[in-house]
Structures are given as structure tokens and as C-alpha cells.
Amino acid sequence: MSGAPVLEVQGLAKSFTLHGQGGVRLAVLDGIDLAVAAGECVVLDAPSGSGKTTLLRALYGNYRSDRGRILLRHRGALVDLAAASPRLLLEVRRETVGYVSQFLRVIPRVPTIELVAEPLARRGVSVAEARERAAALLHALALPERLWGLAPATFSGGEQQRVNVARALVVDHPLLLLDEPTAALDAENRGRVLALLAARRDLGTAMVAIFHDAEARRKLATRLFPLPERPMAA
């Protein structure tokens, strides 16, 4: 790794209180240190239930950490997402950090082409240019053009996931968080998604990813990051 990290995690800890089980506290992450540079794809390496998705959600600001820092290079300066205001978090998501989850959250009756173009429109890109870039991605992901005017709520799982990927990639985020982005795809479409992600990585996008698929790890990972064993509940 060379140059200043795009992302640096220092001493991150996250726990959950199980109110339905007598207030038991489950410590999921404790003392996580991680630095990711431009052009790296760091794949989280741990069994299911080890906190991999919790870490990604903390990096995206969906979960507030108990302690530690999440330092991100945003607009040329370092910001600590662990202490960021909601307004700053929204700005960071719009410009600097993209997230691909296993599930697509759709707005009923919004056509696919508009759903994919919307992140660009929020950044002030013209409607025509946003739709053109969205269309290019949907073509690259082999989503039939006859579906673009339809809302993706009725699509198959694989079609929805390709819409999900297109929506995340339509903006050139310096950092991408990937939570099993190919899990619902057949081999051909998985290859398309991996090729797009590899191209972004090679252009300098930093990535933190969860992949259980061996092919995805082989094609994308620049290194593996083992998560420590989950601490005991208290």
C-alpha cells in the first residue's frame, strides 16, 4: 500500500444490547484497525456471524460505533465518520462512499433508468447525462432495455441485484463498500459485475468487500483482512 489511505479505521468497537434477552450486551467488533489505499480491494475474511456486515454498516454510518475512529478522505480533507453529523454523512454518501448491499431498496413505480440515474441527479448532473450514464451501465450489465421503464420491484433477484450494482457504480465514488454484490447472480452475470468492479479498482477506487465466492475473491481481492474472533456477550 502506498500513499495516504483513503480510509483508516482506528480502534473501532461496536456492540448491541439485546433488550429481549435481559439486556445482554453482545460485543460484535472490538479494536478493529484497518487502512485501505486507492486501488486496493480488501476482503473481510471471517466466518458468518463474525461481524463483517456490521463493520461495513459502521463504515457507511448506518451503525454508530461505541468507540474508535473512521477516518475518510473527503473533499481533500480527513473526516471522522464515527463522529460525523447526519448532514455530513449524507454528503459523504453522495460524493465519496458507495455501498452495494445484497438487497435493492426500491421506490414503488419509479422506473429503473431513473432509479439508477438518481444518484447523479442529486449531484447536479443534468437529466440527459445522468440517464446516458445509467443506460451505459445497464447495457454493460445486460439488463434488457425493455425493462428500463419498469419499476424493479417485480424483477427477479438477479435483475434487481444488477440494478443495485448499476446504481452504486453510476457515481465514481473513491470508496466502495461491497456486501456480497454477486450473491444472487448466475455465472455469466457474476462475471460482468466482477469485470466492472475490477476496472474501477484498477482505476484507483478503494474497496472493502465481503465475498464468500472464491472466484470473486480471486479476481478482486488485493489482500484479505481477518476479523478477530467475536468477543463474548456481557
CA atoms within 13 A on the CB side of 13: 11
Is pLDDT above 60 for 1?
no
> Is residue 132 a part of any domain in this protein?
yes
Host H or E run for residue 178: strand 175-179
- Tracing cell 482505476 back to the chain, one arrives at 203
> Is residue 89 a part of any domain in this protein?
no
Is pLDDT above 80 for 232?
no
> Is residue 220 a part of any domain in this protein?
yes
> Is residue 90 a part of any domain in this protein?
no
> Is residue 16 a part of any domain in this protein?
no
Is pLDDT above 80 for 83?
yes
Band of pLDDT at residue 16, cut at 50, 70 and 90: confident
The predicted pLDDT at position 160 comes to 92
Closest CA relative to residue 181, chosen from 171, 192, 170, 79:
192
The per-residue pLDDT for range 97-149, each reduced to its tens digit, is 999 987 777 666 899 999 999 999 999 999 999 999 999 999 999 999 999 99
- Nine-digit cell string for 196: 466492472
Domain of 110, in residue numbers:
38-64+97-226
Where residue 213 sits, what CATH number does that domain have?
3.40.50.300
Q: Which amino acid is at 114?
A: E
Band of pLDDT at residue 229, cut at 50, 70 and 90: low
- Please state, in angstroms and rounded to a whole number, the distance separating the CA atoms of residues 191 and 195: 6
The count of structural domains within the chain is 1
Instruction: Report the chain's mean pLDDT, rounded to a whole number.
Output: 91
> Is residue 20 a part of any domain in this protein?
no
- Nine-digit cell string for 142: 445486460
Report the predicted TM-score, pTM, of the whole model to 2 decimal places.
0.91
> Is residue 108 a part of any domain in this protein?
yes
CB-CB contact of 197 with 18 (8 Å): no
The predicted pLDDT at position 104 comes to 73
Closest CA relative to residue 209, chosen from 89, 63, 219:
219
Compute the average pLDDT of residues 70-83. Answer: 95
> Is residue 110 a part of any domain in this protein?
yes
Host H or E run for residue 168: helix 157-169
The per-residue pLDDT for range 153-177, each reduced to its tens digit, is 889 999 999 999 999 999 999 999 9
Regarding predicted confidence, which is higher, 9 or 27?
9
